[in-house]
Amino acid sequence: MGFRPGIVLWLLWLTWVVSWLVAARWSSAATRVEGGRLVLLYRVSLVVGFCLLVYPYRIAWLPCLWRLSDFEGWLVDLLALAGFAFCWWARVHLGRLWSSAVTIKPDHHIVESGPYGLVRHPIYTGLLTAILASVLMNGTLLGVIGGLIMLAGMVTKARLEEAWLRRQLGEGAYDAYANGCRCSSRSRGCRQRCHPRSSC
């Protein structure tokens, strides 16, 4: 029995999660770690959203909004693979500054190399790409809701990270840097008025 696109997608998720957890061992210790309700909110959102997204979708009572052909499914797998690869590219450029939590580390600074010169939050961009692929593969309203909940969780975490960077680097300095470019990517039309974006 050969692999189906849906099975390959969940194997991609499993591979990414396991490799991400293993790589966490190469992260430096934090000097401060954020806590509070917003942290709990984004963590719960990510877990609940992911559970809804991976819920078995070919069951009688759950209406299917669309169905992908095998060819379309393989294209979705490639989309997810690209998203995970983008995450790892960003992870490599962050090095020991990476953390799964909202933290401040010794010698914390803005990373501008690699994907951080293209988008402001490349890890989240890659994850959202994989989530979009999963929503497309799922094809149910439950999957769409799960994807939106995960999106809300990542937006909450990104805002927390930016607030911490403002306190670490100075509000004026960070805001000047962050407002240097409002483009999501460095397209030809915005290069002359943009500089590389930052992310945590």
DSSP letters of 177-190? HHTT---SS--GGG
pTM (two decimals): 0.77
The pLDDT value given to residue 73:
93
The pLDDT value given to residue 121:
84
Angle at 19 between CA 16 and CA 22, to 5 degrees: 150
Distance (Å, rounded) from C-alpha 139 to C-alpha 63? 9
Residue 66 burial by CB count (10 A; 0-12/13-18/19+): exposed, middle or buried? exposed
* Phi, psi for residue 103 in degrees, rounded to 5: -140, 165
Domains of the chain, by residue range, sit at: 35-97+111-184
pLDDT at residue 42 greater than cutoff 50: yes
Query: For the chain, how many residues are written?
Result: 200
Cβ(9)–Cβ(134) below 8 Å: yes
Question: Which of 9-23, 43-57, 151-165, 175-189 has the weakest average pLDDT?
Answer: 175-189
Identify which has the larger pLDDT, 140 or 175.
140
Strand partners, 64: 140
For the stretch 81-110, pLDDT in tens is: 999 999 999 888 877 666 655 555 556 666
Angle formed by the axes of helices 70-94 and 5-23, to 10°? 10
pLDDT averaged over the chain?
Answer: 76
The pLDDT value given to residue 86:
95
For 121-137, what is the mean pLDDT? 93
Write the single-letter amino acid at 6: G
pLDDT at residue 2 greater than cutoff 80: no
Contacts of 134 (CB under 8 A, 6+ apart): 9, 13, 53, 54, 80, 143, 147
For the stretch 162-174, pLDDT in tens is: 777 777 766 665 6
